[in-house]
Chains A and B, each alone.
Chain A
């Protein structure tokens, strides 16, 4: 049973650049949520995608955008990177058929902005 996978595992960018992170949900899941986890903090919700649409959004600027593909995989894009965007970015998947409440997390992508 394939779990949630994310790529890349690590990424180094400079301020002002753009980055794309990728996520494949757990087999059978149709919903993908993205979280940002800063050092020493709990994960913060960025947004959730279902049926290729953004369904919910947290308190993040428009520089953060996403996409969900027909195979349920998802991308997180961050434009005009700031130093403060350095964090672990987590993808979580869930199943609407199963109620959608339980989310399973991937290993994350650690982004460092210099």
Chain B
């Protein structure tokens, strides 16, 4: 069965610190990878996604993620966090359309708190 692991459940950073959130997945085939963010009181929003091509993808609000196939990883990074980045971050995976595997499998999430 497909699974996603997010090893950091809670992360506390000061503003301007660099961020890296880990995500590892378990799936034998070609995958699509996503990071979603849930700000306090708001709904899940797509931060960035990887389908194919350049393994370094850039998303909104200065976030980026790197797909490392050999490590089954898709870590999220941001060089300098802001207080407004306080949120819960979810990594998710599904597979290309022709596999019929469209459901998203999510990790348990990482709660990020950025102190001013």
List residues of A (53-102) whose CB comes within 8 Å of B's CBs.
55-56, 58, 90, 92, 94, 96, 99-102
Render B74-112 as a binary contact track against A, CB cut-off 8 A, 1 for contact: 000000000000000010101011001111111111000
Which residue, B100, B103, B109, has most C-beta atoms of chain A within 10 A?
A: B103
List residues of B (37-72) whose CB comes within 8 Å of A's CBs.
42-46, 49, 51
Residue numbers in B under 8 Å from A107 (CB-CB): 42-43
Are A102 and B49 in contact (CB-based, < 8 A)? yes
List residues of A (22-79) whose CB comes within 8 Å of B's CBs.
31, 33, 35, 40-45, 48, 55-56, 58
Residue numbers in A under 8 Å from B45 (CB-CB): 105
Are A42 and B43 in contact (CB-based, < 8 A)? no
Are A48 and B46 in contact (CB-based, < 8 A)? no
A48 to B46, CA, bound (A): 19
* A42-B102 contact, Cβ under 8 Å, with A99-B97, A101-B94, A104-B46: no
A105 to B94, CA, bound (A): 15
Closest to B91 in A: A42
Which residue, B49, B106, B108, has most C-beta atoms of chain A within 10 A?
A: B106
Number of A positions contacting B (CB below 8 A): 27
Closest to A108 in B: B43
- The answer to whether the Cβ of A103 comes within 8 Å of any Cβ in the partner chain is yes
- The answer to whether the Cβ of B73 comes within 8 Å of any Cβ in the partner chain is no
A108 to B90, CA, bound (A): 16
A90 to B109, CA, bound (A): 16
Are A103 and B109 in contact (CB-based, < 8 A)? no
Identify which of A42, A58, A104 contacts B103 (C-beta below 8 A): A58
A90 to B106, CA, bound (A): 13
Are A106 and B43 in contact (CB-based, < 8 A)? yes
A-B contact pairs, 12 of them (CB 8 A): A40-B108, A41-B109, A42-B4, A42-B90, A56-B102, A58-B103, A90-B43, A90-B44, A100-B102, A101-B32, A101-B97, A102-B34
